[in-house]
Structure 1
């Protein structure tokens, strides 16, 4: 693990350069009250990859979670009846 502030920002750049990309963890799937475990003893996860493109061609310097992404956060909880 690394502190988020110490991670090189290039890690979050899109292949074309100016945009940003991130995988946002949304939930851990569970069954009968237990988190699903994958082979290798890793927890299963529900996540979405988010892309933020630059409309001006200038590199973005911030990544914002918008209303669409916030809606995605709610979906696993709604499906689980939480």
Structure 2
């Protein structure tokens, strides 16, 4: 399952409005990694996800701008440990 991606270049900097799915793994430029629960879940970064939820009080029950929950990003990218 692949989501659409739109890349917009402004002032020579590429910005992505979506994550591109390649072989089931979300791909986002290393420089453009967001510090949010959706990215942490998609990459399977359980430590970052735990820090965001416990320390920074981020809510995993909120839908992102694409209509997905953090749990859905983890499941779409086969991150079973994060999904659990």
Same-fold status (TM-score > 0.5): no
TM interval, short-chain normalised: under 0.3
Q: Choose between structure 1 and 2 for higher RCO, CA contacts under 8 A separated by at least 6 residues.
A: 1
The two structures have a TM-score, normalised by structure 1, of 0.20
Larger helix fraction of residues: 2
Larger radius of gyration: 1
Larger strand fraction of residues: 1
